[in-house]
Amino acid sequence: MLLVGPSGSGKSTLALALAGLIPRDIPASVGGSLVLDGTDLQRLDRPALAARVGLVFQDPATQLVMERVEDDVAFGLECRGWPVGRMRGRVPEALAEAGLAGLERRRSHRLSGGQQQRLALAGVLAPRPGILVLDEPTANLDPAGADAFLDRLRAIRDARTTTIVLIEHRVERAWSMADLVLALDGAGRPIDVGSPADVAARSARRMHEAGIWLPAALEPPVEPRQTDGAPGRPDSQGRSEPAEPSGSSRVGIEARDLSFAYETGRPVLEGISLDVGPGERVALVGPNGGGKSTLAQLLVGLLRARLGTVTLGRRNPARLPAAELARLAAYVFQEPERQFLAERVGDEIVLGLDLARRPAASALLADLGLPLERFGDRSPFRLSGGEARRLSLAVALVRDPSVLVLDEPTFGQDRRNYERLLSILDRHLRAGTTLIAATHDPRFVADVVDRVITIGDGRIVGDERVR
Amino acid sequence: MMLNRLELADSQLDSPLGRTSPIIKLGVGIGWLAGLALTLAWTPPLLLAAVALAAGILLGSVRVGTLARSIAPLWIAALGIGLFNALYSTSNGDPAAATLVALGPTRITVEAATNGFALALRVIAIASVGAVFTLTTDPTRLADALVRQARVSPRFAYGALAAYQAIPRFGEDLATLRQARRIRGLRGSWHPRLLVTLLVLAIRHGDRLALAMDARAFDSGSMTFYRDLRWSWLDAGVAIGASIVLIGALALGR
């Protein structure tokens, strides 16, 4: 079964309830009942429940317990009291089912993100659960990692011995794997449930309105978002529309022979040379761990290159005092919660901000669906994933940066938030802001950027103009 | 700043000291520590430090360079502690005591220097034993031994092991937070507020990890164990050898 719904519709809550963690480990008031093979979930004890339901979460880092691959797969079996002989037989099997055969003695932190997520899958599969619940398992993975993960999931599905409940935002591949689709609306009420074909025929429009992504082929026709061909570009006569945000001067970036390595280990980047013109919109794509974020951080002086030079508007950004750098560039980090520095949303947005820009801040937050009246006193750490992402974007945009860097800006966003993000971004890009976005999202690349640079193994392996 | 994982080579883990029960090694460390408290002489700590380092290299297959890198800062700190104690010893104010060095108003008596040096030697011994323990002990094996040989609660031991895996993550959190400060024009890469955020992030990570462990039936009944772990003659040998070394060292220090 594929479970879809906009942010905050209760998909993860349902996953936790299916695994019996709600209300057991997370106190909650629960109505109704969950019946598993004729037994009420509430009446099963923990080992019995865990033997039947396996749960895979979004972030591999929060699921792996042991240092070695085989030990981690065995962990769930140890907890259920399996005899050693059976464990020794089952661990390699489970690893093979997850496509990790032969990696038993490896250290799990040495695996790629995609392999780590399949290791989490192997650990959950090991006790042969009847039901496998996966909560956005591919959201943190690069396209290759996500494909490998879904390949394994398809193989499990085709074996037809395990019930699968998959929660995803981006459903291009998952849609065709499902026998059943359950769509929830923003309030957590079911919109529709049925076979993918029936649900698409009956409810595509309502799902679209609720902000749910559908496979591109099934999206109901919508009136074009922009009238001119390239959204947000000044039109062909060279008349640019009156842009609302102003004051950001156009700034380009030059990088020459950049190399970078962290304190220990092999170089992350080697010999990168790159020119980004003022107002250009560049996507950095390529596998995770290839050096995209590192390059983005070097380009705006958040890291200092070991060799080579970076010039940001005629200056070396790594040597600029913080206050001057902040006037030129803004950076939205991959994980919003790692960049929040204040206790309240209202303080977060004005931290380090010129007084003159404060009125703009509250208008921007309202535009992004985070009005200060409602959110001002909330803790940034208590926001939903989508809200936190929009707050981090607001913090960057309110400064009218000449150069804006976004690290995985669309990660885990439902369709409505994605469109909101795009329209706000659009207004700023029209004013001539240079955009550098590290991203895996083909849709974002198609909608926003005009140049795609592919980074692989620390080098530029592709550089093409797409618009 | 990056917090790096300590990664032991397989040769370290398969060496005699690597295969010795971590419980025995902990016991030896504590026993030696207690023994050192009985004496102020110079020989016992010197001898114990030398035996520990030699055992690490010969029985633990620890590379000399690795060992030197890990103990150098501890030794420097130990000498600092000794010097500090010599400088601020109360006996420096005693006019009757013999003077070792006098620099203007600063005076160090023989007694103060002796005590300071003895203290430094003991810290050096403890640091050396600790470094050899760390460099020959697999964290997973330590957790296993704590649970199965020392009857520590699995919730504590494996919880701590999972938390230990997350340590490099805190370094990354801090690095990103500092970058976030810089790009927002805030001066100085350090601010007390960062500690609060770090704590929040650590707690959130711990919550999620605990949830995932609970979903895998952690601590919900009696556990079985995948990895082999049993007492062996090696454990007895290490325990007896360490006791003899301690007794010998104390005897020499008389």
> A206-215, A240-249, A394-403, A427-436: which has the minimum mean pLDDT?
A240-249
Between residues 115 and 144 of chain B, which touch chain A (CB distance below 8 Å)?
Answer: 138-140
Per-residue pLDDT at B95: 79
Interface test with B, best of A13, A62, A125, A136 (most B CBs within 10 A): A62
Report d(CA A404, CA A398) in Å as an integer. 11
Its sign, for the CA torsion B59, B65, B68, B70, is negative
Per-residue pLDDT at A238: 38
- Give percent of chain A with pLDDT exceeding 90: 54
Q: Is the per-residue pLDDT at B196 higher than 70?
A: yes
Contact A80 B217 (CB under 8 A): yes
Report d(CA B168, CA A326) in Å as an integer. 28
Q: How far is B168 from chain A (nearest CA, A)?
A: 10
Long-range contacts of A192-197 (CB under 8 A, 24+ apart): A196/A2
Interchain contact B32–A (C-beta under 8 A): no
Give ipTM to 2 decimals: 0.87
CA nearest to A303, candidates A319, A288, A326, A281: A319
Mean pLDDT along residues A443-458: 93
Contact A403, A248 (CB under 8 A): no
Residue among A50, A62, A67 minimizing CB distance to B209: A62
Per-residue pLDDT at B26: 94
Q: Which residue of B has its CA nearest to A349?
A: B184
Contact A57, A412 (CB under 8 A): no
Between residues 215 and 234 of chain B, which touch chain A (CB distance below 8 Å)?
Answer: 215-227
Residue B183 φ then ψ, to 5°:
-70, -15
DSSP 3-state assignment of A85?
helix
Contact B177 A338 (CB under 8 A): yes
Interface test with B, best of A24, A69, A75, A77 (most B CBs within 10 A): A75
Contact B182 A302 (CB under 8 A): yes
Residue among A62, A264, A341 minimizing CB distance to B4: A264
Per-residue pLDDT at A222: 62
Residue pairs between chains A and B whose CB atoms are closer than 8 Å = 174
pLDDT in tens, B45-87: 999 999 999 999 999 999 999 899 989 999 999 999 999 988 8
Per-residue pLDDT at A317: 94
Q: Is the per-residue pLDDT at B211 higher than 70?
A: yes
Q: Tell me the average pLDDT of chain A.
A: 87
Q: Give DSSP secondary structure letters for A303-349.
A: S--SEEEEEETTB-GGGS-HHHHHHHEEEE-SSGGGG--SSSHHHHH
Instruction: Report angle CA B136, B139, B145 to the nearest 5 degrees.
Output: 95
Report d(CA B174, CA A260) in Å as an integer. 20
Per-residue pLDDT at B3: 53
The tally of CA atoms less than 13 A away on the side-chain side of residue A57 is 21
pLDDT in tens, A292-348: 999 999 999 999 998 999 999 889 999 999 999 999 999 999 888 899 999 899 999
Contact A198, A23 (CB under 8 A): no
Report d(CA A183, CA A6) in Å as an integer. 9
Interface test with A, best of B1, B148, B216 (most A CBs within 10 A): B216
Instruction: Work out the pLDDT band at A22, boundaries 50, 70, 90.
Output: confident
Task: Name the more confident of B2 and A450.
Answer: A450
Q: Give DSSP secondary structure letters for chain B.
A: --PPP----HHHHHSHHHHS-HHHHHHHHHHHHHHHTT---SHHHHHHHHHHHHHHHHTS---HHHHHHHHHHHHHHHHHHHHHHHHT-GGGG-TTSPEEEEETTEEEEHHHHHHHHHHHHHHHHHHHHHHHHHHH--HHHHHHHHHHTS---HHHHHHHHHHHHTHHHHHHHHHHHHHHHHHTT-SSS--HHHHHHHHHHHHHHHHHHHHHHHHTTTTSS----SS-----HHHHHHHHHHHHHHHHHHHHT-
Per-residue pLDDT at A49: 80
- Give percent of chain A with pLDDT exceeding 70: 94
